[in-house]
Amino acid sequence: MNVKKTSTYSLIALIFSLLLMGFSNPTQDIFSDVESAIGSGNANQFSRYLSSSVELELPGEVEGIYSKQQTVVILNRFFDKFPPSAFKIVHTGSSSAGSKFAVGDYTTGEEKTFRVTVFVKKQGSQYLIQEIEFE
Tell me if 18 is assigned to some domain.
no
CATH number at residue 33: 3.10.450.50
Domain range for residue 33?
Answer: 25-134
Structural domain includes residue 14 = no
Residue 8 lies inside a defined structural domain of this protein? no
Q: Is residue 42 part of a domain?
A: yes
- Residue 16 counted as domain residue: no
Q: How many domains are contained in the chain?
A: 1
Q: Is 72 a domain residue?
A: yes
Per-residue pLDDT tens, the chain, 135 aa: give them.
555 555 555 545 545 444 444 444 556 678 999 999 999 999 999 899 999 999 999 997 789 999 999 999 999 999 999 999 999 999 999 888 888 999 999 999 877 999 999 999 998 888 999 999 999
Distance CA 31, CA 116 (A): 12
Residue 15 resides in a domain: no
